Amino acid sequence: MDFKDSVYSESTVYAFIKSIFLPALRPAFCKSVPSIFYNFFFRQFLFSFLPGKIPVSRVDHPLDEKIPFIPSWVTIYIDFVQFWIRMLSFYIRRYGRRAYIPIRDFIYSVGDLYAYAAEAYTKNLSTTKRPFYIARPRFFLIHMVDPHLFCIPSLHVMVAIHTIIMFSVIAKKLGVMDELKEQAEEMRHGALAISQAILFVKQHSVNCIPAALYAMTCFSPDLFTQKEAEEFTNQLFSPPPERKKTPKSCKVHPSASPKSKIPEGDKEQIKKHILSLYYGFLEEKKTAKDWTEPLIRFLRTYKYE
C-alpha cells in the first residue's frame, strides 16, 4: 500500500473544516465537540479544583515497574485525537457523499463515548504516579492540560478501539471492506500503538487497559466482544508491519513506533494480568446494578489520595 492510500496520510484540518461546513455533519460536530470538552477537560479540571468532592484512587500496579519510561512514545500518545479525525478525512475524501451518514453517526458516537466514560469518572477519580518530565514540549503540554484524574477507564484506549471498530463498520456499510483490508490492519496497529504508548509515557497503569476493554464491551457489546478483547490484548507489544513507502516524516505511523525493550516473559505477564482483570469485571457485571459498579468496587480497593 502506497502512503497516499494510507489513513495516516490524511489531514485532520480537512475533516475539521468539512465537519463544520457540511450540513450533513455539522449537527454531530456541534453536539460531540462540547461533550468531549465538558466530559473530559471541564469536569476533570473542576474536580482538581474541588479536592475531596469525589474520592481519588491511585491505581498503580507492580507490573508497571517492568515497563520502561520511553519519552519518544509521546508522539504516539498524543495522536489519539488525530487518530479518529484522520479516519473522517479518509472516508470523506475517498467516498464523498456516500460516507456522510455513517461518518455523522460516528461523530455522534465519539461524543457519546466520552459521556459514557464520565459515568465512571464522576463516581471515583483515579490517578497514577507519573514522572514530572518536561524536557520535551509535548510533555509540558500534557502536564498543562491533563490533571491526570481520569485514568480508569482509559479514554485513550477506548477511543482507539472505538475508531477501529467503526472503521470496519463504515467500510461494511459502504460495501468496501475488501478494498480497505490493508487500511483496517494499519488502523488496528495504530490502536495497539496508542494503547502501548499510555504505558511507555507513564500516563496510565496496566490496570487502566482492562478497564477500558471492559468499558468498550459494555458500550458496544455486539461489536467488541470478549473474543475481540482477547485478540486485541494478545497483539499488544507485537511489532507492526513495516511500510517501506511510509515517509520518515510521518512519525505517528505505527511502523514508526519507537522500539521497546520488555522481556518476553514480562510481556506475557502483563497481558495475562490484563485479561484476568477484564474477565473479573465481566463476571462482576452479571450481578451489578450498572456497568460502572465493577470498576468503582475495584477502585475502592485502592488507597485513596
Of 216, 211, 218, 222, nearest to 291 by C-alpha is 218
Question: What is residue 239's predicted lDDT score, i.e. its pLDDT?
Answer: 80
Query: Sign of the C-alpha dihedral, residues 104, 105, 110, 111?
Result: positive
Question: What is residue 241's predicted lDDT score, i.e. its pLDDT?
Answer: 66
Question: What is residue 257's predicted lDDT score, i.e. its pLDDT?
Answer: 84
Question: What is residue 242's predicted lDDT score, i.e. its pLDDT?
Answer: 65
Which range of residues forms the domain containing residue 248?
3-299
Q: Does 101 reside within a domain?
A: yes
Number of domains in the chain: 1
Q: Tell me the backbone φ, ψ of residue 199, rounded to 5 degrees.
A: -85, -40
Q: Does 304 reside within a domain?
A: no
Question: What is residue 133's predicted lDDT score, i.e. its pLDDT?
Answer: 83
Q: Does 164 reside within a domain?
A: yes
Query: Sign of the C-alpha dihedral, residues 263, 264, 267, 269?
Result: negative
Q: Does 124 reside within a domain?
A: yes
* CA angle, residues 194, 221, 283, in degrees to nearest 5: 95
pLDDT digits (tens, 9 = 90+) for 130-172: 888 877 888 888 888 889 999 999 999 999 999 999 999 999 9
Question: What is residue 94's predicted lDDT score, i.e. its pLDDT?
Answer: 96
Q: Does 49 reside within a domain?
A: yes
Q: Does 281 reside within a domain?
A: yes
What distance in Å separates the CA atoms of residue 134 and residue 118, rounded to the nearest whole number? Answer: 28
- Counting as low any pLDDT under 50, the low residues of the chain are none
Q: Does 25 reside within a domain?
A: yes
Q: Does 305 reside within a domain?
A: no
Q: Which residues contact 188 (CB under 8 A, 6 or more apart)?
A: 164, 235
What distance in Å separates the CA atoms of residue 294 and residue 217, rounded to the nearest whole number? Answer: 13
Question: What is residue 53's predicted lDDT score, i.e. its pLDDT?
Answer: 84
Report whether 191 contacts 80 (CB < 8 A): no
Report whether 257 contacts 193 (CB < 8 A): yes
What distance in Å separates the CA atoms of residue 106 and residue 28, rounded to the nearest whole number? Answer: 9
